[in-house]
């Protein structure tokens, strides 16, 4: 009964993973044949590449901005939606729309917002007299570009984080809130002493989700930053090394390294944040 699913998962995930692990230790470049075993040569090559080092630094900023903003916004939205109100279902349906859009589509939409010629952001800031003339926001300054691109991904993944945290919120018995109020706890004390400790499973999953997507950010960077190295992520650099430079060996090595880092950080985040909650 499960054989078709096992075959599908194996073809889609297991086989490419095994192939990546093997090919990461081989020289695989159509421009300089033949293919041969090089051991750790590909890894030494990528670490000696300044573009790769810069991409890892940029990705660290993507992770910092992406995880912090996604968890903060997701938790805030979930708390606001915790109580039922008229039109709550409509709000939830509208809120999930950014998650349903492909990353490329979101990048195109936000490119109109950031556009230096007719973009909405320039028009708004100039009308409020924060700018004297239109500016280029993405592709010039490193941190500014990374932050603005991170906002696009945060806009996409925050709805899922909010739903995960909202599910944890709805599992908290109302009696705990009533007991806290009887004891004289204020709104912030209820949030800090009751809500946040009891939604740690949802927070942990939302954090890991934001962490994995931030490390592997590609579509938004590719659309908004193009081939500039200012805000290039590890995934973008992997793409350029593999399909522009045709250095498949280093591309495999960089993909494998990114996978290992993603798994390690995800496990670490779960160890730190996840706690089993019993009511």
Task: State the first-to-last Cα distance of the chain, in angstroms, to the nearest integer.
Answer: 37
* Cα distance between residue 152 and residue 208, in whole Å: 18
The answer as to whether 140 is a domain residue is yes
Q: How many CA atoms lie within 13 A of 14 on its CB side?
A: 7
Helix (H, G, I), strand (E, B) or coil at 193: helix
Q: pLDDT tens digits, residue range 98-153?
A: 888 888 888 889 988 988 888 888 888 888 888 888 888 888 888 999 999 999 99
Residue written as token pair 């075993």 = 37
* Cα distance between residue 41 and residue 30, in whole Å: 17
The answer as to whether 79 is a domain residue is yes
At residue 262, the pLDDT reads 93
At residue 278, the pLDDT reads 67
**Is the pLDDT confidence value at 32 over 80?**
yes
**Is the pLDDT confidence value at 183 over 80?**
no
**Whether 90 contacts 139, CB under 8 Å:** no
**Is the pLDDT confidence value at 276 over 80?**
no
Q: Find the radius of gyration of the CA atoms of the chain.
A: 22
The answer as to whether 133 is a domain residue is yes
pLDDT band at 279 (very low <50, low <70, confident <90, very high): low
Q: pLDDT tens digits, residue range 41-88?
A: 999 999 999 999 999 999 999 999 999 999 999 999 998 888 888 888
At residue 214, the pLDDT reads 93
The answer as to whether 108 is a domain residue is yes
pLDDT band at 190 (very low <50, low <70, confident <90, very high): confident
The answer as to whether 100 is a domain residue is yes
* Cα distance between residue 156 and residue 213, in whole Å: 10
The answer as to whether 180 is a domain residue is no
How far are the Cα atoms of 95, 111, 146, 165, 273 from residue 81, in angstroms, in the given order? 11, 30, 30, 10, 23
The CATH number given to whatever domain includes residue 243 is 1.10.3720.10
Helix (H, G, I), strand (E, B) or coil at 227: coil
For residues 178-197, give the mean pLDDT: 81
Which domain covers residue 23, as residue numbers?
Answer: 17-173+202-273
And the tokens for 127? 């009308």
| Number of domain units in the chain | 1
pLDDT band at 238 (very low <50, low <70, confident <90, very high): very high
* Cα distance between residue 24 and residue 244, in whole Å: 18
The answer as to whether 105 is a domain residue is yes
And the tokens for 279? 């009511």
Q: Over the chain, what is the mean pLDDT?
A: 88
The answer as to whether 66 is a domain residue is yes
Over pLDDT 90: what percentage of the chain?
Answer: 39
At residue 188, the pLDDT reads 82
């Amino acid at each position: 009964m499960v054989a078709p699913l096992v075959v599908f998962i194996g073809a889609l995930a297991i086989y490419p993973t095994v192939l990546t692990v093997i090919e990461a230790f081989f020289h695989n470049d159509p421009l300089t044949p033949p293919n041969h075993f090089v051991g750790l040569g590909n890894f030494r090559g990528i670490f000696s590449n300044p573009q790769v080092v810069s991409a890892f630094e940029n990705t660290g900023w993507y992770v910092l901005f992406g995880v912090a903003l996604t968890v903060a916004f997701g938790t805030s939205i979930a708390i606001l939606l915790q109580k039922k109100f008229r039109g709550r279902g409509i709000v939830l349906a509208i809120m999930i729309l950014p998650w349903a859009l492909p990353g490329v589509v979101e990048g195109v939409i936000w490119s109109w917002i950031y556009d230096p010629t007719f973009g909405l952001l320039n028009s708004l800031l100039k009308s409020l007299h924060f700018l004297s003339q239109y500016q280029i926001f993405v592709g010039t300054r490193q941190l500014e570009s990374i932050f603005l691109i991170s906002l696009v991904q945060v806009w996409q993944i925050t709805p899922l984080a909010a739903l995960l945290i909202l599910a944890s919120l709805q599992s908290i018995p109302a009696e705990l809130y009533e007991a806290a109020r009887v004891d004289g706890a204020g709104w912030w004390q209820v949030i800090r002493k009751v809500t946040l400790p009891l939604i740690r499973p949802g927070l942990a999953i939302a954090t890991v989700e934001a962490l994995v997507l931030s490390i592997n950010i590609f579509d938004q960077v590719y659309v908004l930053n193009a081939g500039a190295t200012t805000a290039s992520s590890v995934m973008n650099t992997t793409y350029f090394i593999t399909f522009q430079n045709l250095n498949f060996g280093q591309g495999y090595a960089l993909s494998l390294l990114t996978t290992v880092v993603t798994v390690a950080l995800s496990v670490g985040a779960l160890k730190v944040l996840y706690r089993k909650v019993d009511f």
